[in-house]
C-alpha cells in the first residue's frame, strides 16, 4: 500500500512528530511505501486566492474560486508547482493520514489550507462525483490527532463533546465527500500531560493500529439510496452514522448515537 502522511505541527520533536515517525517506520516495516508532506517545513501557503490561478482566467474581472478551479482542470492547465506536487502525491497514494494536534476543535489552519488548495474542483470533486461516486473511491483516509485534555472531556456528556462529532467535518465533509473510505481515527489524549511511559504506550498502540491497517473496518456513512430527493434521510431509514438522526422515524439524537459502531473511539494506549 502507498501511504501519504500530511503532517501539520510546527515542532518536529513534538509528540505529533513522534507519531509521524512511528507511522513511517511501522508502515515501511510492513512493506508499505510512505511519503510525508511536512507542511511547516514546506512553509506551505494556506490561503486559497488569485495566486493559485497561473493560466488564462475564465473571468479575470471576478474571482469565482470553484469556477476557476474547474476551468483550470478542464483546460489541462497545471496549478502552481506546490499544489501540483501535492496532487501527484494524492494520486499516488492508497491511504492518506492527517497527523495534527487538535486546535480549537479542528485542524491547524495550515492543514485546512492544504485541503483548500490541493483538493480542488475538477481534480478532487465535480458535479456528480462526490460521496459514494467520489473521485477517490477505493482509497482510504484517516485522522491521527492529539488533544490537550483528557479523553473524558470528549465523551458524549463531556464538556468538549463527542470526539466523533468534532471530527465529522473532516470525516464526512472532506474524506467521505471525496469518496475515500474513512478509517476510525486514532486519538492520543493529552500526551503533554502524561508520563513518558504513557507516551510510549501511546506510540506502541499507534504502531499496533497501523500494523492492522489493511484489515481495519471503515466507518459507516449512509449511501445515496438512504436519502430522498431533498437529500434528507428517507422516512423509513434509521440513522447509523453516529452524527445524524432521523426524526421521521421518531429517532432521537441519543438513540442515533447508540446505533453507531464503533460507539467510542479507542483510547490510545
Residue 31 maps to which CATH number?
A: 3.40.50.360
pTM of the prediction?
0.91
Helix or strand holding residue 89 (H, E): helix 81-92
Nearest to 134 by CA among 88, 86, 183, 172: 172
b (16+ CB within 10 A) / e for 22-43 = bbbebbeebebebebbbbeeee
Count how many domains the chain has. Answer: 1
Please state, in angstroms and as integers, the Cα–Cα distance from residue 114 to each residue in 105, 154, 226, following that order: 18, 26, 32
Residue 251 covered by a domain: no
Which tens digits make up the pLDDT trace of 128-182?
A: 999 999 999 999 999 999 998 887 888 888 888 888 889 999 999 999 999 999 9
In percent, how much of the chain has pLDDT > 70?
94
Question: Which of 1-5, 158-162, 248-252 is most confident?
Answer: 1-5
Confidence of residue 268 (pLDDT cuts 50, 70, 90): very low
Mean pLDDT within 109-136: 95
Residue 164 and residue 73: Cα distance in Å, rounded? 34
Residue 162 lies in a domain: yes
Cα distance between the two ends of the chain:
25
Residue-number span of the structural domain to which 153 is assigned: 2-215
Average pLDDT on 182-203 reads 92
Q: Tell me, yes or no, whether 160 lies in a domain.
A: yes
Amino acid at each position: 500500500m502507498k501511504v501519504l502522511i500530511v503532517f501539520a505541527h510546527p515542532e518536529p520533536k513534538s509528540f505529533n512528530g513522534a507519531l509521524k515517525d512511528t507511522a513511517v517506520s511501522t508502515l515501511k516495516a510492513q512493506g508499505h511505501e510512505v511519503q510525508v508532506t511536512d507542511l511547516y517545513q514546506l512553509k506551505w501557503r494556506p490561503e486559497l486566492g488569485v495566486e493559485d490561478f497561473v493560466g488564462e482566467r475564465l473571468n479575470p474581472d471576478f474571482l469565482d474560486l470553484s469556477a476557476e478551479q474547474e476551468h483550470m482542470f478542464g483546460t489541462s492547465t497545471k496549478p502552481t508547482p506546490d499544489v501540483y506536487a501535492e496532487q501527484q502525491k494524492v494520486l499516488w497514494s492508497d491511504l492518506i493520514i492527517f497527523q495534527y494536534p487538535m486546535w480549537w476543535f479542528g485542524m491547524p489552519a495550515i492543514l485546512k489550507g492544504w485541503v483548500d488548495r490541493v483538493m480542488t474542483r475538477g481534480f478532487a470533486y465535480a458535479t456528480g462525483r462526490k460521496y459514494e461516486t467520489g473521485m477517490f473511491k477505493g482509497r482510504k483516509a484517516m485522522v491521527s490527532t492529539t488533544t490537550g485534555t483528557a479523553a473524558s472531556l470528549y465523551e458524549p456528556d463531556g464538556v468538549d463533546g463527542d470526539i466523533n462529532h468534532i471530527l465529522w467535518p473532516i470525516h464526512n465533509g472532506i474524506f467521505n465527500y471525496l469518496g475515500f473510505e474513512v478509517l476510525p481515527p486514532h486519538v492520543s489524549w493529552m500526551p503533554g500531560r502524561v508520563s513518558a511511559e504513557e507516551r510510549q504506550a501511546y506510540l506502541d498502540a499507534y504502531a499496533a493500529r497501523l500494523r492492522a491497517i489493511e484489515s481495519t473496518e471503515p466507518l459507516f456513512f449512509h449511501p445515496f439510496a438512504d436519502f430522498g430527493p431533498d437529500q434528507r434521510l428517507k422516512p423509513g431509514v434509521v440513522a447509523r452514522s453516529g452524527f445524524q438522526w432521523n426524526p421521521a422515524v421518531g429517532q432521537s439524537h441519543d438513540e442515533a448515537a447508540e446505533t453507531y459502531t464503533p460507539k467510542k473511539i479507542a483510547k490510545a494506549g
